[in-house]
Amino acid sequence: MAEAMAVKTTEGWVSERLRRMVATPHELHATSIRGGTLVLIIVAVLFVPHFAEFGNLQSIMYSLAAVGIGAVGMALVTLSGNLFMLSMGATAAFSTVVFASLISLGLLPTMLLVVAAGTLIGLIQGVLIGAADTNPIITTIAAASMITGFGVLWTGGITVVGHGQATWLGFGRVFGLIPNQILVMLIFAGIAGFVMQKTRLGREIRLIGMQRDVARVAGLRLIAATMFCYGFAGAAAALAGSLIASSSAQGNLTYGIDLDFNAIAAVLVGGVSIRGGRGRVGDAVVGAMFLSIIGNVLLVSGVSYEYQLVVKGAVVLASVIIGALLGQWAPRLRRRVGAAR
Amino acid sequence: MTAASLSHKPATPVLAARDLSKRYGGIMALQSVGLDLGAGEIHGLCGENGAGKSTFIKILGGLVRPDSGEISVDGRPLALGQRTDPQLISIVHQELAIVPTLSVLDNIMLGMGGTSPFYFAHLVRTQVRQGLDEVGLAHIPLDRKASALSLAERQLVEIARGVARRARVLLLDEPTATLSDAEIKRVFDTARLLRDKGTALVFVSHRLDEVFALTDRVTVFRNGQHVLTERTSDLTSRDLVKAMIGRDLVRGTQKPLSVAADRPARLAIAGLRCGDALKPIDLALAPGEIAGVVGQLGSGADVLVEALAGLRGLVDGQIAIDGRAVVIGSVRDAMKAGIAYVPEDRAGKGIFLDAPVWMNLTASVMGRFSRGGVMQRAAERERGLELAAMFRIDPGRLGSEVATLSGGNQQKVALGKAAALTPRILILNEPTRGVDIGARSEIYATLRRLAEQGLAILFYSTDLEEVLELADRVVTIFRGEVVRSIGRDALDGGEILHDILRGRDDTIVLTQ
Amino acid sequence: MSQGHKRQNYLRNLMLGTVAAGLLGIFGGAAPAWAAAKGSKVILLTVSQSCEYCALHERAFLKAAAADGINVEVKINNFDAGQQASQVDQAVAEHPDAIVVWPADASAIVPSLRRIKKAGIPLVVTNSMPNPKYQSLWNIYTGPDDLGNGQQAGEAMIQGLKAKGYTGNTDIFVILGVLGTPPQINRLDGFTGVLKAKAPMVKIDGSQPGNWDQTQATDAAAALFTQYGAHIKGVYAEADNMLAGVIVAAQRAGLDPKTLVLVGSNCSVEGVNAITAGTQYATVLQSPIDDGNYAAQAVADLLDGKSVPKTRFLPHPTITAENVAMCNAAIGR
Amino acid sequence: MSGAAWLTRSIRLVLLVALPLGFALTVKHFLSLDNLYAIFQSFAFLGLLALGLSVTMIAGEFDLSVAAMATVAGLVTIKLVVLGPVAAVLCAVMVGTVIGIGNAVLLPWLQISSLVTTVGTMILLNGVGFWLAGGRVLSYDNFDVSDALDQTLLGIFSPRSLITILCFLLIAAFLQFTKLGRDIYASGGHRRAAIQSGARVGLALVVCFAISGAFAALAGSLISLSLATASATLDSTTLLQAAAAAIIGGVALGGGIGSPASVATGVLILTILNNGLGLLSASSTELLLVNGALLLIVVLLDGKAGQALMDLRRKTAQTKRRNVTWQG
């Protein structure tokens, strides 16, 4: 019986893959954004002067790295069914200050400490949301003002100048080609993706995000999963803060404060369902990539700032609308692909 | 539609639905069905899940536009596909349409229609009160918030809404599914009073005894087609079942297990208490035994099963499994102790609708398939195939989202998810709610097979037929106390009803 | 420092309420307008504590005011013009001896200034000047001369280009602050005006806002470097922290900042570090400490009845590697 | 649930009484007419925003675009003020209403959360704001309108704060005494049940978002006339403040619960707290920490912590009752 199944599965692998790509609304959305990003890159390479120059591609990577990491963290929170974490910007800003204060210890210990601090900040919120069952949006809003408050208390609003070397992270490149920052992002996203897709904890997070009550009756570890997501998102914000602070080895409570909305936009554009449980970490990274490329194309074509904002807003709104429309077409498409099979 | 199927057609139909058809994708949900309804008639509508009842109801309510057909009320045709005027046809939905944050009065007045944009609660209050008093709903509190009501009271509010609207046609979609018998009686009384006042009623139910008790005529749908419309008194229960499933139902074939007193108990409960809901309860369950717990809503019978599943937090009293004392304070405690649980609310608590079948089946036992926290998909897949075979789930659909399965197959997945734990005790809450008759007997057979392998099964059900069909032993509960715990053959439905309605001693009922 | 001061104020106010005739209350509550500075009560409406310049400004102001024996109450609004308007209402309600306002928005503040004027409370506007046609509404303005600041930056750019041997047609670009804010507009006007008049062959190829933010400035500059590539010989950023972003972008684009003429403004920590490292050519000093001190001085003089000039601009010397020490002193490092 | 609601309601009332009382006792000038006027001036702007937002919250939705809408409306007003201030305000409110309706129309069509669509609208409006401003701060030289809007009436009010109070009364009457108002509560209380029982959920949502858009626009329009200025960079914390006010006042994020009275309570608690702390010369740090802590306490009480406290209270009450019966 099992053997027969295995044979059937191998034969059906390609069509199964195809079915998977359009099976659910968020998958369909994610697939289209991946396609859209590809089309965008091709169009930009062909029609936007200077776009394909190596320096420009690098600058896209630099502008992507921190937001991409933030989007990965945000995606975990969204997948766990807790919508958005609105304290990521504050955490990132706070982390730039911690980074600059500690950088004299050396880059690696500093990054580890900063990420540990961010994890702790996230974990505290995770405990409140997971164990005390508080509303995630309001809890993180409140946390954001308290994090900023403590930040001001500590620094007095002054830019903290670090005494140490952070150039490996700020400017370093592998073989002089790929910025180290983008490597850090890829490794981070890879870890998150592995946890979410391959591990027990990741499966639990997705199932809890999908239907919390079912997960409770099924005996899944609700509190641990929620705490993990928030801890991880806090770590992501802190890592993003490190990236931002590394270029000048300085920290200030205004650096990276807009990480929240950039990460949310990436999650929305990437097609992670905000109903929770449906979507992948990679989708958020693709969303961030799409937005970075759009932003870069507009900047490079010299479009004025007002129009850049309008276009970015339109992209997010259009992506939301298209995603939702795809959601309604998805069942029909699924039937068709199913029938073809 | 044949002429024969429209025999006993009333002279002046209040509701006349003709030639209704609806196609969803490639599936004919309804194929040219019709129904005529006279004033002062209670009309039963029966059919298995997927027979087209709910599509029919949605078309009547104007929530779905049929591909063809026409509906008229009192001779005036309805505009199809638009919300039907609730004063013509009012529907009491199976899934309660009660807004918990609103007061009872607001709930009753919700969607009332009418031209005035204003709503002054104090002005309509008296009128609504009178209308309800007339049909025997005098006890419904109008000013309380609906969230403070019991499930049964909410059901009555829903019916009260139909009454207040003074609808010509009142459609009750499984109004008794969640009710205890005392409350069912109240619903029936109200329905009869309304009938006597000239309202036409449609009564949709899975419970055949109720259909026979209440209705004047019965219509049966099967696979989207009209099968029969007959006077209820002209039919036997067997006729009806045959019309519904298209063949004779073989039932009650399983011999009940006679409990040997000398067998060591698999589950032994002593002095189990849960707040005020459950007085100290003693209960023992042998391996291989299937026990049915019966009780009215609020009797504490459902609390007992939930407490054993770890859903009620820490409870007082002793629980021993195979002679070893265990402490159950959470779902995970219960699972560790060897207890698996299948909840009553399948879509809300039982299964992950948007996750594939295999992921559901192993959801509670992921720890067994993870090495260093990483899931071992091959082992998981193998176990999924085993469970699918055990519960007769099509192995080709292991990768499909559960939402795409029928109700019966969804319940099999829920059962498989619990069985995956390889429990020593399986606890079921309403094991076949919303499952059609065919899948139901399959599930009973599987449960019996599991029991024969040594599993002890304890289930709670409000369906007496189910209890008599499945249980080796019946435990009746009244006001948090066990009335009787006795072999199935030793008592009949009437005695069970007596137990759960009155308890041991009739005088208890009088002292409030 | 500032925290300690505020704690004192907090306690003082508590005392004011509970002990009706508290020792400080005699000075704090009952003094008439135009009283002497010593023992007077002044409300400072400032914009933010989580911006370096703002924080230093507030500290300097508080320190100088304390030295003059002025009791200061601070209200902060995070650059929210609407909130500042209601803080002005609140401040007027307290009948202080004088008010010092750092407008969150130089235009939106005007109706509030009218209210203060109507209430007859002496007023000092600090840091950003509303349209001079309303100058009858305030007693003294102290703060930066953004036009002059931009002009100075233009001079520094011309000088730098000459020093690095870029003659003839030269391309530069500009990174701007938040569009529409007076420093952004005035600094750009000053900068372009000087270039047009004195170095017409220097061409501004493009501009993008960096919103006073290093990260955004990095992205904007990266795009402009991409767009205009190796032609670019100089960059002007309206603030040093944004110029730090420009330096990052240049390094990432493989350009050596030392070969470019990079001119910033304010002489904040970022600028000092970059000038010391040789990656930045020049900046224009705008000292937050002077800014705060000037405002405190102005309000003290005003209350003491001294005759003071209507407008007092901060000095805005050019800072290069030679005189960077001056800047260190000015920002208190 | 209702238990936790009881607890937070009592805490709210205690705050609403204790805060002003405490400040009146400890802070000079707190009870002066001028300061009460200042409190109501703060109430005027935040109140309108929170009111519109809370109507969508009651319907079980959330309009994230209110702050951006206020900014755009302010710019529209100042651009059109040449037509006369009343016409400009009306135009701005109309724009807000239309955009609000647009938000609502997207919902049933797309069947997605308003949290998502309005994030999109917010980012878009933000861009439109910058485009309208064209890189400048728009200002209006005639201060007569500003003076008229903010003149003192009855000692502590101004036309602007009276307009806000009038809006609160109107919405309270609308929600209480119309069928549509009740449909709005039903839509938020239990969406499916509301649809099944025939409540006009689609219409209710359209009206909610129209109200939310219109009030946000009115708030932005009035504040820009009052400041005689509009710019594209309104403070980003405005939205959070409006949401915090609604939640502190007792509007449930889940929908179906709350009223204009509760919104007013929340806005007053926040404005009084900030005003009082301002008079005490609190630093922005202290303000941030106090506001954050207050919000945290409210969510904690709405969550399990409040539930636990309530269980405790119920248990003691039961023990008492039992004791009484035994004695009897």
Q: What is the pLDDT of residues B35-48, one digit of tens each?
A: 898 888 999 998 87
Q: Delimit the domains of chain A by residue range.
A: 34-328
Across the interface, whether the CB atoms of D289 and A320 are under 8 A apart is answered no
CB of D280 less than 8 A from some CB of C = yes
**B111 vs D185, D199, D256: nearest CB:** D199
**CA gap D41, A273 in Å, rounded:** 41
**CA gap B455, B425 in Å, rounded:** 6
Top-ranked range on mean pLDDT: pick from B492-496, D160-164, D321-325:
D160-164
Nearest residue of chain D to residue A86 (CA atoms): D240
The 10s digit of each residue's pLDDT in C23-57 is: 333 333 333 445 577 888 999 998 877 677 888 89
Number of domains in chain B: 3
More confident residue, B355 or D287: B355
**Which of B192, B213, B245 corresponds to the end of one domain?**
B245
**CA gap D228, B46 in Å, rounded:** 70
Answer whether residue B115 is part of any domain.
yes
Subunits adjacent to chain C (3 or more Cβ pairs under 8 Å): A, D
The 10s digit of each residue's pLDDT in D70-90 is: 999 999 999 998 898 999 999
The 10s digit of each residue's pLDDT in B74-90 is: 888 888 878 888 888 88
- Residues of A (276-315) whose Cβ lies below 8 Å from D: 304-314
Residue B489: give the domain boundaries.
257-338+424-512
Interface pTM (ipTM) of the complex? 0.79
DSSP state of B365: G
Identify whether the C-beta of residue B11 lies closer than 8 Å to the C-beta of residue B38: yes
Listed in sequence order, the residues at least 6 apart from B329 whose beta carbon sits closer than 8 Å to its beta carbon are: B310, B313, B314
Chain A contact set for B354 (CB, 8 A): 24, 210-211, 277-278
Place of tokens 């005759």: C307
Please state, as a whole number, how many other Cβ atoms lie within 10 Å of the Cβ of residue B512: 4
Q: Check whether residue B103 and residue B234 sit in a common domain.
A: yes
- Distances from the Cα of B92 to the Cα of B36, B103, B138, D125, D196, angstroms: 19, 18, 19, 44, 9
Please give the biggest Cα pair distance in chain A.
70
pLDDT tier at C242, thresholds 50, 70, 90: very high
Across the interface, whether the CB atoms of A156 and C215 are under 8 A apart is answered no
Nearest residue of chain C to residue D158 (CA atoms): C89
**CA gap D283, C245 in Å, rounded:** 30
Question: Which of B333, B342, B349, B397 to mutate to test binding with chain A, by most A CBs within 10 Å of its CB?
Answer: B349
* Mean per-residue pLDDT of chain B: 83
Q: Check whether residue B101 and residue B160 sit in a common domain.
A: yes
**CA gap D261, D267 in Å, rounded:** 10
Nearest to B16 by CA among B35, B1, B3: B35
**CA gap B414, B505 in Å, rounded:** 39
pLDDT tier at B343, thresholds 50, 70, 90: very high
Share of chain B above pLDDT 90, in %: 22
Rounded to 5°, angle at Cα C84 from C80 and C86: 125
Identify whether the C-beta of residue B177 lies closer than 8 Å to the C-beta of residue B16: no
Answer whether residue B382 is part of any domain.
yes
Residue C209: give the domain boundaries.
146-284
Listed in sequence order, the residues at least 6 apart from B115 whose beta carbon sits closer than 8 Å to its beta carbon are: none
- Distances from the Cα of D156 to the Cα of B189, C89, D31, D33, D42, angstroms: 62, 11, 11, 6, 12
- Tokens for B395? 């192995």
Give backbone dihedrals phi and psi of C41, rounded to 5 degrees, phi first: -115, 125
Please give the biggest Cα pair distance in chain D.
79
DSSP state of B347: I
**CA gap C49, D165 in Å, rounded:** 33
Answer whether residue B347 is part of any domain.
no
CB of D216 less than 8 A from some CB of C = no
Q: Average pLDDT for residues C145-161, to the nearest whole number?
A: 93
CB of B313 less than 8 A from some CB of D = no
pLDDT tier at A230, thresholds 50, 70, 90: very high
More confident residue, D271 or A341: D271
- For residue C235, the domain's CATH number is 3.40.50.2300
**CA gap B174, B206 in Å, rounded:** 7
DSSP-H helix ranges across A80-156: 88-102, 107-130, 136-155
Q: What is the phi-psi region of residue B372: left when phi exceeds 0, alpha when psi lies from -120 to 50, beta otherwise?
A: left
Q: Average pLDDT for residues B446-473, to the nearest whole number?
A: 88
Subunits adjacent to chain A (3 or more Cβ pairs under 8 Å): B, C, D
Q: Which of A54-63, B240-249, B314-323, D106-115 shows the lowest per-residue confidence on average (mean pLDDT)?
A: B240-249
Nearest to C157 by CA among C86, C102, C236: C236
Chain B contact set for A216 (CB, 8 A): 331, 349
Place of tokens 């609808």: B167
The Cα of D171 is separated from the nearest Cα of chain B by a number of Å equal to 14
Q: Which of A47-61, A152-166, B405-419, D116-130 shows the lowest per-residue confidence on average (mean pLDDT)?
A: A152-166
Answer whether residue B372 is part of any domain.
yes
Top-ranked range on mean pLDDT: pick from A108-122, B93-107, B258-272:
A108-122
pLDDT tier at A331, thresholds 50, 70, 90: low
pLDDT tier at C121, thresholds 50, 70, 90: very high
Identify whether the C-beta of residue B202 lies closer than 8 Å to the C-beta of residue B28: no
User: Is A263 a residue whose pLDDT tops 70?
Assistant: yes
pLDDT tier at C77, thresholds 50, 70, 90: confident
Nearest residue of chain D to residue C9 (CA atoms): D281
Q: Report pLDDT for A181.
A: 92
Q: Check whether residue C164 and residue C119 sit in a common domain.
A: no
Identify whether the C-beta of residue C6 lies closer than 8 Å to the C-beta of residue D283: yes
User: Is A190 a residue whose pLDDT tops 80?
Assistant: yes
Chain C contact set for A59 (CB, 8 A): 219, 222-223, 225-226, 249, 252-253
How would DSSP label each residue in A4-30?
HHHHHHHHTHHHHHHHHHHHSHHHHHH
The 10s digit of each residue's pLDDT in D230-270 is: 887 655 678 878 888 998 888 887 788 899 999 999 999 99
User: Is D222 a residue whose pLDDT tops 70?
Assistant: yes
Answer whether residue C329 is part of any domain.
no
Q: Average pLDDT for residues D61-70, to the nearest whole number?
A: 90
CB of C202 less than 8 A from some CB of A = no
Q: Report pLDDT for B42.
A: 93
User: Is D282 a residue whose pLDDT tops 80?
Assistant: no
Q: Report pLDDT for C21.
A: 36
Across the interface, whether the CB atoms of A312 and D125 are under 8 A apart is answered no
Q: Check whether residue C278 and residue C153 sit in a common domain.
A: yes
Answer whether residue C188 is part of any domain.
yes
Q: Report pLDDT for C28.
A: 37
Across the interface, whether the CB atoms of C219 and A299 are under 8 A apart is answered yes
Nearest to A319 by CA among D120, D107, D100, D112: D120
Q: Report pLDDT for C193.
A: 94
Rounded to 5°, angle at Cα B299 from B294 and B303: 85
3-state secondary structure of A52: coil
Looking at residue A324, its amino acid is A
Across the interface, whether the CB atoms of A317 and D283 are under 8 A apart is answered no
* Mean per-residue pLDDT of chain D: 84
**CA gap C169, C183 in Å, rounded:** 28
**CA gap A250, C240 in Å, rounded:** 13
Question: Which of A85, A317, A321 to mutate to test binding with chain D, by most D CBs within 10 Å of its CB?
Answer: A317
Nearest to D2 by CA among B141, A129, B96, B147: B147
Q: Which of B8-17, C106-115, D62-71 shows the lowest per-residue confidence on average (mean pLDDT)?
A: B8-17
Across the interface, whether the CB atoms of C13 and D287 are under 8 A apart is answered no
Q: Report pLDDT for D22.
A: 87
Rounded to 5°, angle at Cα B303 from B141 and B422: 145
Looking at residue D238, its amino acid is T
The 10s digit of each residue's pLDDT in B402-439 is: 888 888 889 999 999 999 999 999 999 989 887 877 88
Q: Buried b / exposed e across D186-203, counting CB within 10 Å, b at 16+?
A: bbbbbbebbbbbbbbbee
Q: Report pLDDT for B486.
A: 82
Delineate the domains of chain D, giving CATH numbers in brackets: 2-314 (1.10.3470)
The Cα of A80 is separated from the nearest Cα of chain C by a number of Å equal to 30
Identify whether the C-beta of residue C143 lies closer than 8 Å to the C-beta of residue C207: no
The 10s digit of each residue's pLDDT in D112-166 is: 778 778 878 888 898 888 888 876 778 888 888 888 888 888 888 999 999 999 9
The 10s digit of each residue's pLDDT in D179-203 is: 999 999 999 999 888 888 888 888 9
Q: Report pLDDT for B248.
A: 57
Nearest to A203 by CA among B363, B421, B417: B363
CA dihedral of residues D67, D70, D71, D76 (deg, nearest 10): 160
Q: Report pLDDT for A282.
A: 93
Give how far the C-alpha of residue B253 lies from the chain's centroid of Cα atoms, to the nearest Å: 24
More confident residue, A292 or B481: A292
The Cα of C6 is separated from the nearest Cα of chain D by a number of Å equal to 7
**A156 vs C55, C206, C229: nearest CB:** C55
Across the interface, whether the CB atoms of D111 and A324 are under 8 A apart is answered yes
Q: Report pLDDT for B176.
A: 75
Number of domains in chain C: 2
Place of tokens 């999109």: D120
Give how far the C-alpha of residue B297 lies from the chain's centroid of Cα atoms, to the nearest Å: 13
**Which of B422, B450, B467 corresponds to the end of one domain?**
B422
Q: Average pLDDT for residues B131-150, to the nearest whole number?
A: 80
Subunits adjacent to chain D (3 or more Cβ pairs under 8 Å): A, B, C
Q: Average pLDDT for residues B13-33, to the nearest whole number?
A: 84
- Distances from the Cα of D288 to the Cα of A93, A254, B395, D270, D293, angstroms: 15, 15, 57, 12, 8
- For residue B319, the domain's CATH number is 3.40.50.300
Subunits adjacent to chain B (3 or more Cβ pairs under 8 Å): A, D
CB of C167 less than 8 A from some CB of A = no
Across the interface, whether the CB atoms of A135 and D303 are under 8 A apart is answered yes
More confident residue, A171 or B341: B341
**CA gap C306, C68 in Å, rounded:** 14
CB of D28 less than 8 A from some CB of C = yes
**CA gap B488, B471 in Å, rounded:** 7
Answer whether residue C331 is part of any domain.
no
Q: Report pLDDT for A229.
A: 97
The 10s digit of each residue's pLDDT in C257-288 is: 999 999 999 888 888 889 999 999 999 999 88
Q: Check whether residue B261 and residue B236 sit in a common domain.
A: no
How many CA atoms does the CB half-sphere of B22 hold within 13 Å? 26
- Residues of D (233-272) whose Cβ lies below 8 Å from C: 233-235, 237-238
**A157 vs C55, C222, C229: nearest CB:** C55
The Cα of A119 is separated from the nearest Cα of chain D by a number of Å equal to 20
| CATH of the domain spanning A34-328 | 1.10.3470
Q: Report pLDDT for A149.
A: 87
**A203 vs B375, B395, B401: nearest CB:** B375
- Sheet with B290-294: list strands edge to edge: B339-342, B425-429, B456-460, B290-294, B473-478, B481-487
Q: Report pLDDT for A341.
A: 38
